[in-house]
Every structure is written in structure tokens, then in C-alpha cells.
Amino acid sequence: MNRKRIISPSLLSADFLHLADDVAMLNRSKAEWLHLDIMDGVFVPNISFGVPVVKAVRSMTSKFLDVHLMIVDPTPYISVFKSAGADMLTVHYETCSHLHRTLTAIKEQGMKAGIALNPHTPVALLKDILREADMVLLMSVNPGFGGQKFIERTYDKVKELREMIDAQELNTLIQVDGGVNEKTGAQLISCGVDVLVAGNYVFAAENPEERIETLLSC
């Protein structure tokens, strides 16, 4: 089946001193989504940026804001990110004791809801919650930093998740995040991925727009 492919460049690798230039570039580009990584220094060993940055980005783009929350207990922050302009909140399976409740709360606020899995978390754990999610994000690196090496095991996880989604006749999107480039990206698409997140591959390039187009056609 030929499914629509979405590219979601991760602003974690953008130039924070010239963030407006990078958002302007993304506005011109063929990327449909922007991926914003929120890190708390507790769930992951790094601190990135928070709500004011999401708000600032929202003020200069009409593209879909895909917000990846790498924070312990994300539930109290759902309405805050909604007010900042998020279109989707993705929470980590590993951080939610009441995932069903959290996903429901995100959707009640009018946002799409995603579940992220760390590399060590099995896809099989999603069986009874899958239908509540608009998207599943499979981490293909350990979350916390851009520019890391892709974990090959991810391909099998994507295939397993694709089978699970198709068996339940759902429209849940599959997103992969970490170490995506034209090689890993092409293979991921053939395994059934819908959304490719790419940070370093896009922003470290001389021509980031060209890299986005490469990811769209690889």
C-alpha cells in the first residue's frame, strides 16, 4: 500500500540564536510538520526548551506542531501545551501510569495524541491501548540528544507495529525518531513508517530544504 509520507524536522538541531530563520526555512520547505522535543533533565539526561519556545514557533508557522514530551508525569502540562499551540502531544509509555487517562485528556483538549516507546520497550505492550492513539513514535535512539546512531532493531519493531495496526484495522500513524537519514529513512518507509523525524540530517546540512525533499523521495 502506498501511504502518505510526512517529514517532521526536529528543531532540537536548529540554530537557537536564529530560530526565526530556521522556522522560515521550514515554512518554505516541503515539511508538513515541525517536531519539538521537550526534555526535563529527569526522564532524559538533557534539558532542551519549554513552553515559551513552542509558543514563539507557533506565532510564525501554520504548520502542524508535533510536540514530543520527554518529561516525567506529562499529564499536568497538557493544557499548557495546548495553549502554547501544540497540535499533537506525544507522551512516553514509560512516563505514564495511567496512559489511557492521559491520552483521553489530550484528545479532550482538541489535540492529537501519540505514544512514544523507548528502544527497550516492546511494541507488544501497546495491544490494549493502540486504538486510543493517533500515532505511535518508535524511538530509534535513546532519547535525549540529536545526532546519535540509529538502532537497527527498530526496523523489526516497525514491522511488528504495522501488523498490529493493520490487524486492528486502525489508522494510527507510525513515527520514527532518531538517526533518520536517506538510508535509514528509505528502509523505514518500506517497513511501514508514515512520519520521519529528522534533526541532525536536516539542520547540519548546507541545504536543509534539499534534505527534506530527499527524505520525501527516498
Sites for Zn ion among residues 55-94 (CB under 5 A): 68
Residue 145 annotated as lining a ligand binding site: yes
CB of 168 to Zn ion, least distance (A): 25
| Helix runs in 109-172, H state only | 154-167
Sites for ligand DX5 among residues 34-73 (CB under 6 A): 35, 37, 68
Q: Draw the binding track, 156-175, toward ligand DX5 (x: CB under 6 A; -: no contact).
A: --------------------
Distance CA 215, CA 188 (A): 11
Are 104 and 87 in contact, with CB atoms under 8 Å apart? no
Q: 22, 134, 177, 194: which one is catalytic? A: 177
Residue with cell 501519540: 114
Q: Which residue of 144, 185, 192, 208 would you call a contact of ligand DX5, by CB under 6 A? A: 144
At residue 71's C-alpha, the angle toward residues 182 and 126, to 5°, is 65
CB of 188 to ligand DX5, least distance (A): 12
Distance CA 145, CA 150 (A): 12
Among 173, 129, 176, which Cα is nearest to 157's? 176
Residues lying near ligand DX5 in the complex (CB under 6 A): 10, 12-13, 35, 37, 68, 141, 143-144, 146-148, 177-180, 197-201
